[in-house]
Amino acid sequence: MSANLPILPGATLGILGGGQLGRMFTIAARTMGYRVMVLDPDPQSPAGQMADVHVQADYTDHGALKKMAEACAAVTTEFENVPAASLVELSRYTRVAPNAEAVSIVQDRSREKTWLRENGFTTAPFALIAHENELEAAALATGFPAILKVSRFGYDGKGQIRVNNRNELASAFAELEGVPCVLEGFVQMANEVSVVLARADSGECRSWPVGENRHTNGILDTTTVPASVSESIQENAQATATQIAAKLDYVGVMAVEFFVDSAGNLLVNEIAPRPHNSGHYTLDACVTDQFEQQVRALCGLPLGDTRLLSPVVMVNLLGDIWRQGPDWMVLLRHPGIKLHLYGKAEARPGRKMGHYNCLAESMDSAVELANITRKQLGIIPLSG
Pair 196, 172 in one domain: no
Q: Does 139 score more than 60 pLDDT?
A: yes
Residue 111 lies in a domain: no
Neighbours of 379 (CB within 10 A): 21
What pLDDT band is residue 157 in, cutting at 50, 70 and 90? Answer: low
Percentage of the chain exceeding pLDDT 70: 97
CATH of the domain at 78: 3.40.50.20
Residue 112 lies in a domain: no
Predicted confidence at residue 325, as pLDDT, reads: 87
Domain boundaries, position 153? 125-185
| Mean pLDDT in residue range 335-351 | 96
Residue 4 lies in a domain: no
Of 52, 78, 96, which marks where a domain is finished?
A: 96
Q: Does 361 score more than 50 pLDDT?
A: yes
Residue-wise pLDDT tens digits, 277-310? 999 999 999 999 999 999 999 999 999 999 999 9
Strand order in the sheet with 53-55: 53-55, 35-39, 12-16, 74-77, 95-96
Residue-wise pLDDT tens digits, 237-271? 999 999 999 999 999 999 999 999 999 999 999 99
Residue-wise pLDDT tens digits, 14-32? 999 999 999 999 999 999 9
Of 150, 185, 220, which marks where a domain is finished?
A: 185
Pair 202, 326 in one domain: yes
Pair 246, 261 in one domain: yes
Pair 241, 364 in one domain: yes
| Mean pLDDT in residue range 156-184 | 91
Pair 155, 231 in one domain: no
DSSP E strands: which ranges in 290-378?
A: 312-318, 337-341, 352-359
Predicted confidence at residue 159, as pLDDT, reads: 84
Q: What is the DSSP letter of 314?
A: E
Pair 83, 140 in one domain: no
Q: Does 1 score more than 90 pLDDT?
A: no
Query: Counting Cβ atoms within 10 Å, is residue 216 exposed (0-12), middle (13-18) or buried (19+)?
Result: middle
Percentage of the chain exceeding pLDDT 90: 91
Residue 198 lies in a domain: yes
Pair 225, 292 in one domain: yes
Residue 108 lies in a domain: no
Please give the Cα distance from 262 to 90 (Å, whole number): 45
What pLDDT band is residue 104 in, cutting at 50, 70 and 90? Answer: very high
Pair 83, 212 in one domain: no
Of 149, 166, 185, which marks where a domain is finished?
A: 185
Q: For CA atoms 243, 246, 252, 257, give the dihedral sign.
A: negative
Residue 150 lies in a domain: yes
Q: Does 381 score more than 70 pLDDT?
A: no
What pLDDT band is residue 158 in, cutting at 50, 70 and 90? Answer: confident
**Whether the Cβ atoms of residue 32 and residue 328 lie closer than 8 Å to each other:** no
Pair 172, 238 in one domain: no
CATH of the domain at 142: 3.30.1490.20
Total structural domains within the chain: 3
Please give the Cα distance from 238 to 122 (Å, whole number): 14
Q: Does 384 score more than 50 pLDDT?
A: no
Residue 114 lies in a domain: no
| Mean pLDDT in residue range 208-216 | 96
Pair 150, 280 in one domain: no
Pair 361, 247 in one domain: yes
Predicted confidence at residue 382, as pLDDT, reads: 62
- Which has the higher per-residue pLDDT, 319 or 382? 319
Pair 176, 195 in one domain: no
> SS3 of 201, please?
coil
Residue 107 lies in a domain: no
